[in-house]
Structure formats: C-alpha cells, structure tokens
Amino acid sequence: MENVLEKVSRALNKNNINALLFQNTPAAVDYLKSVLKAGETVTCGGSVTLAESGVYSLISNGDYNFLDRTKLSGEKMETAAFYKNTLSADSYFCSANAVTENGEIVNVDGMGNRITASAFGPERVFMIVGKNKIVKDLEEAFLRIKRVASPRNAVRLSLPTPCAKIGKCVSLLKSDKPGITDGCDSPYRICRDYLILGKQNDSKRITVLLVNEELGY
C-alpha cells in the first residue's frame, strides 16, 4: 500500500514540482552534493530543518559562494540589499511549514524573504521536508502553522509573541478555524505573509526532498 510520503511525492510531481524520497538525511545530503556545482551561488532561508539535516553545513562549508544571512548587522538597508541579492542565487534552500497530500506547499514569513525566493528568482529551489510537515489539506496546513510552526519558531527566535508564551496562536482561544490574519497585533508577529505553491510552470525549478524523518517544525 502506498505510504503518505509516496502519495505526497506523486501529488507534487503532478503539480510540476520535482519530488524525491529519502529514507534519511545523509542520503538527502549525498544527493545534494551530487547536483550542486563548485562555485555556484547558494543561499537559504532560516530553517531548523536545514540545520538538523546537515544541509546547512553542506552549503555553508562547501565549495560554493554562500550568501550568509547570519553576517547581517541588522541595519535595514543592508538587510534589504542582501535579500534582493539572494533572488539571483543559483540555488536556494529552505524547508516548508506544511505540504498537503494534494501537493501544495505552504510557507509563512514574517518578512517575506523566503516566500519571495521560493516563488521567484533563484534558478533552482531545494526544499527539505520531514514527514512531520505532511498534512491532509490547506486547512490543516494553516492550523499547523498556528499550533506548531509559529509558536516554536517564536520561542527559538526569542520573540515576545503571545504564542511563545502559551504554546499556540492566541486566535485558537477564540476559534478552532481562525483565519490567516487572525491572531496578535504584536510588532514581533512571526506569521504575516502566506504563500501556497501550487502547479508550477517550470517543472525543473523546485525540488522537494521528502525525508522519512521528523525534521524541524
């Protein structure tokens, strides 16, 4: 019987998104080593999955021109220039907040840099996705973001949002189906802009590496 990762893989391929299955993260890293070219420009969005999987170590220490967001001083103009530059990278790396069984990829950003690069700009996009990110549909994807991804990322980044304190979005105290703009008005709000990647035009641009492990949140 087809397992859920195989089902998602088939749905992604149907949406012109290249999906590959890996039993573990070393196998996924070996694949990436085989397709990245020495000297190419690579960069990434902030991601626990990239760190846990070893992909961050590969792209930041390998024989590549790595655009390093951790070197930013926090100055506004410098940050804007850096993220505009990432759009011309050869390869962009990130994870997803959720991938549905229909092959839709859902991400939410506080600033929009990751969702912009995944939709447009870099020649190739590689998304590393653990089995814990798979959800049934878009409704579950949005709930996952409010129950898991946003609170845990807010804690990781030491952001004083309500979800960091109570472990879930405050919107869930009022409704079990909150809208994407429901929630707090904190200036540190982590969930502002949502992107759903659907059927792609270029079937070679986005590759999703589905890994049979729990990775990130």
Contacts with ligand SF4 by CB under 6 A lie at 146, 150, 154, 161-163, 169-171, 183-184, 186, 189-191
Residue number of the CB atom closest to ligand SF4: 183
Whose Cβ is closer to ligand SF4: residue 131's or residue 189's? 189
| Residue placing its CB nearer to ligand SF4 in the complex, 53 or 107 | 107
* Pick 81 or 173: Cβ nearer ligand SF4: 173
Closest separation between CB of residue 119 and ligand SF4, Å?
A: 21
User: What is the length of the chain?
Assistant: 217
DSSP for 67-121, please give it. --GGG----HHHHHHHHHHHTT-SEEEE--SEEETTS-EEEEESSSHHHHHHHSS
Kindly state the smallest distance separating residue 79's Cβ from ligand SF4, in Å: 20
- Closer residue to ligand SF4 (CB): 105 or 154: 154
As beta bridge partners, residue 93 has: 44, 126
* Residue 190 C-beta: closest distance to ligand SF4, Å: 4
Residues 73 and 58: their CA atoms lie apart, in Å, by: 24
Nearer Cβ to ligand SF4 (7/192): 192
- Min dist. Cβ of residue 189 to ligand SF4 (A): 4
Which tokens hold the place of 209?
């590496």
Q: Which residue reads 């859920």 in tokens?
A: 4
Distance of alpha carbon 35 from the chain centroid: 20
Pick from 19, 16, 24: nearest CA to 7: 19
Q: How far is the CB of 158 from ligand SF4 (least distance, A)?
A: 13
Separation between Cα atoms, residue 212 and residue 24, nearest integer Å: 6
